[in-house]
């Protein structure tokens, strides 16, 4: 089936030759075509160009996009959207003055989610999570990474990863699974962190690898969670099963996690709210994508990732939601893009690059999604009538999306 989208006011993020990622000054450039057409065949992008060059092309369906724009769907490279229930009570506690770290120390936080998840059946967990996936698709997300990490037992981690596998099989968007067994030390191992790491390495990883349940490995490298030695152990163990690292690092403290991640060829380092000059230096000339999660900073009231410093150092930057029940109960990439512009002073061009092509890179999906390029998946957003793409972050919180297509199918 061929579909032809015509009179597109502006076709955004058009890349004739598909790039893997954009860095530094390149991020300021967002290639677009005005008054354009887009032709898709079945699941993929076949052709695009200016309306003047469109000959007499037959199509099974022709869709007029006058006054509307088309851009690739958002690539959300960091989420924890498979979880049970919610943590609204902790939100109220924070309003009353407790910090995220204080709540975690009281047995709230990740351990609270683990308790709720344990009581939830695999099917119920799937239902709750599928609802979230549908919601984020409606908000323009067309590729996703989802982490485990609220199980913290062999059985419950596998339950989470099987749910992610079922989501992969059900939905029309690429989903990558990340094993985050080292998200927190479970209550049963309170004074035995080494024992828990042994469990991850000796029991969880082999089972997960045997069932092919994970694409990447992650760890919460943070004071009070896992230190550099633990991180090294987990990354080395993951590598034995071919799992590239994508790690939580520098959320509250900077203590060498980035340097370690880079030495282990991490695909991405995520959070980065606390960045020293040395941390920025360590990322130069590497293949590791820095990932900022501005909704998390917004929700917790912690610093934003210093995007300007990273970009000035000629580094790339990706934007993702961090959708999870504790620090970011929101999977809205439109809000992420707006917040990156408003709070991190990224330009709309930089933010859109960060939320599309660079996000795709951070999931190893740059050949499939992240730009309007021939041969890539026909995953794109048709906007409402908006005057410019800068209107997307400018009119923050307002709906700008008319429809979302995944693999050529209107959602
Ligand atoms: O990325 N920081 C670690 N993990 C999540 C939050 C987990 C939670 O609070 O449930 C994050 O912010
Ligand atoms: Fe996270």
Q: What's the whole-number average pLDDT of the chain? A: 97
The residue to mutate among 117, 220, 291, having the most atoms of ligand 1 within 8 angstroms of its beta carbon, is 220
Shared domain for 163 and 53, answered yes or no, is: no
In this structure, which ligand is nearest to the CA of 327?
1
Q: Is the pLDDT of residue 56 over 90?
A: no
Shared domain for 156 and 292, answered yes or no, is: yes
In this structure, which ligand is nearest to the CA of 300?
1
Q: Is 357 domain-assigned? A: yes
pLDDT band for position 298 (cuts 50, 70, 90): very high
Query: pLDDT by residue (tens digit) across 372-398?
Result: 999 999 999 999 999 999 999 999 999
CATH number of the domain where residue 163 is located: 3.20.20.140
Shared domain for 207 and 82, answered yes or no, is: yes
Nearest CA to ligand 1 atom 8: 326
Q: Is 238 domain-assigned? A: yes
Nearest atom, ligand 1, residue 251 CA: 2
The residue to mutate among 327, 330, 331, having the most atoms of ligand 1 within 8 angstroms of its beta carbon, is 327
In this structure, which ligand is nearest to the CA of 325?
1
Query: pLDDT by residue (tens digit) across 183-200?
Result: 999 999 999 999 999 999
CATH number of the domain where residue 389 is located: 2.30.40.10
Give the structural domain span for 404. 2-72+371-410
Question: Residues with beta carbon inside 6 Å of ligand 1?
Answer: 80, 109-110, 113, 220, 248, 251, 296, 322, 324-327
Length of the chain: 411
Shared domain for 275 and 334, answered yes or no, is: yes
Nearest atom, ligand 1, residue 270 CA: 1
DSSP state of 24: G
- Rounded to the nearest angstrom, the distance between the alpha carbon of 55 and the centre of ligand 1 is 52
- Rounded to the nearest angstrom, the distance between the alpha carbon of 149 and the centre of ligand 2 is 10
Write down the pLDDT at residue 385.
97
Q: How far apart are CA 371 and CA 394, in angstroms?
A: 22
How confident is the model over 342-353, as a mean pLDDT?
Answer: 98
- Rounded to the nearest angstrom, the distance between the alpha carbon of 80 and the centre of ligand 1 is 8
Nearest CA to ligand 1 atom 5: 327
- Rounded to the nearest angstrom, the distance between the alpha carbon of 390 and the centre of ligand 2 is 28
Between the alpha carbon of residue 197 and those of residues 151, 168, 211, 270, the distances in Å are 14, 28, 20, 21
Contacts of 31 (CB under 8 A, 6+ apart): 13, 14, 15
- Rounded to the nearest angstrom, the distance between the alpha carbon of 229 and the centre of ligand 1 is 20
Shared domain for 40 and 176, answered yes or no, is: no
Q: How far apart are CA 224 and CA 227, in angstroms?
A: 8
Shared domain for 266 and 199, answered yes or no, is: yes
Q: Which of 362, 323, 390, 270 is nearest to 132 (CA)?
A: 323
- Rounded to the nearest angstrom, the distance between the alpha carbon of 210 and the centre of ligand 2 is 25
User: pLDDT: is 231 or 102 the higher one?
Assistant: 231
Nearest atom, ligand 1, residue 100 CA: 9
- Rounded to the nearest angstrom, the distance between the alpha carbon of 140 and the centre of ligand 2 is 20
Q: How many separate domains does the chain show?
A: 2
pTM of the model: 0.97
Query: pLDDT by residue (tens digit) across 152-186?
Result: 999 999 999 999 999 999 999 999 999 999 999 99
Contacts of 136 (CB under 8 A, 6+ apart): 76, 81, 144, 321, 323, 331, 332, 333
pLDDT band for position 100 (cuts 50, 70, 90): confident
Shared domain for 225 and 317, answered yes or no, is: yes
Write down the pLDDT at residue 101.
85
Q: Is 403 domain-assigned? A: yes
Q: Is 366 domain-assigned? A: no
142 token code pair: 């067309």
Shared domain for 32 and 166, answered yes or no, is: no
Nearest atom, ligand 1, residue 222 CA: 2
Q: How far apart are CA 25 and CA 315, in angstroms?
A: 9
- Rounded to the nearest angstrom, the distance between the alpha carbon of 302 and the centre of ligand 1 is 13
193 token code pair: 């962190």
Q: How far apart are CA 179 and CA 146, in angstroms?
A: 9
Q: Is the pLDDT of residue 227 over 90?
A: yes
Cβ atoms of residues 15 and 52 within 8 Å: no
The residue to mutate among 110, 116, 225, 226, having the most atoms of ligand 1 within 8 angstroms of its beta carbon, is 110
Which neighbouring-strand residues pair with 69? 10
Write down the pLDDT at residue 104.
86
Shared domain for 39 and 110, answered yes or no, is: no
Write down the pLDDT at residue 201.
98
Nearest atom, ligand 1, residue 104 CA: 9
Between the alpha carbon of residue 82 and those of residues 276, 357, 359, 400, the distances in Å are 32, 24, 19, 26
- Rounded to the nearest angstrom, the distance between the alpha carbon of 45 and the centre of ligand 2 is 32
């Amino acid at each position: 089936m061929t579909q032809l989208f015509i009179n597109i006011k502006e076709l955004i993020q058009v890349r004739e030759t598909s790039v893997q990622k954009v860095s530094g000054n390149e991020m300021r450039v967002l290639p677009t075509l005005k008054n354009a057409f887009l032709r898709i065949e079945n699941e993929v992008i076949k052709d695009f160009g200016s309306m003047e060059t469109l000959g007499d092309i037959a199509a099974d369906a022709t869709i007029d996009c006058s006054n509307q724009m088309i851009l690739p769907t958002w690539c959300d490279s960091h989420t924890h959207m498979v979880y049970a229930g919610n943590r609204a009570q902790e939100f109220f506690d924070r309003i009353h003055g407790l910090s995220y770290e204080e709540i975690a120390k009281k047995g709230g936080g990740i351990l609270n989610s683990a308790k709720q998840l344990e009581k939830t059946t695999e099917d119920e967990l799937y239902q709750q999570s599928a609802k979230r996936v549908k919601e984020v698709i409606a908000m323009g997300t067309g590729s996703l990474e989802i982490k485990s990490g609220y199980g913290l037992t062999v059985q419950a981690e596998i339950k989470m990863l099987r749910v992610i596998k079922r989501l992969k099989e059900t939905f029309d968007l690429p989903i990558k699974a990340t094993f985050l067994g080292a998200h927190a030390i479970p209550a049963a191992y309170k004074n035995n962190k080494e024992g828990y790491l042994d469990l991850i390495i000796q029991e969880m990883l082999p089972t997960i690898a045997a069932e092919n349940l994970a694409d990447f490995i992650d760890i919460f490298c943070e004071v009070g969670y896992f230190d550099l030695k633990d991180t090294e152990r987990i990354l080395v163990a993951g590598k034995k099963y071919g799992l590239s690292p994508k790690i939580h690092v520098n959320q509250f403290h900077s203590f060498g996690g980035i340097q370690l991640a880079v030495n282990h060829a991490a695909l991405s380092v995520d959070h980065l709210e606390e960045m020293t000059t040395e941390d920025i230096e360590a990322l130069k000339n590497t293949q590791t994508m820095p990932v900022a999660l501005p909704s998390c900073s917004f929700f917790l009231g912690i610093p934003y990732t210093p995007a300007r410093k990273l970009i000035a150092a000629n580094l790339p930057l990706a934007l993702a939601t961090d959708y999870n029940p504790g620090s970011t109960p929101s999977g809205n990439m439109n809000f992420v893009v707006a917040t990156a512009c408003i709070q991190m002073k990224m330009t709309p061009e930089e933010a859109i690059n960060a939320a599309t092509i660079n996000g795709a890179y951070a999931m190893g999906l740059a050949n499939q999604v992240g730009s309007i390029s021939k041969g890539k998946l026909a995953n794109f957003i048709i906007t409402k009538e908006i005057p410019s793409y800068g209107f997307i972050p400018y009119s923050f919180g307002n709906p700008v999306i008319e429809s979302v297509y995944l693999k050529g199918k209107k959602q």
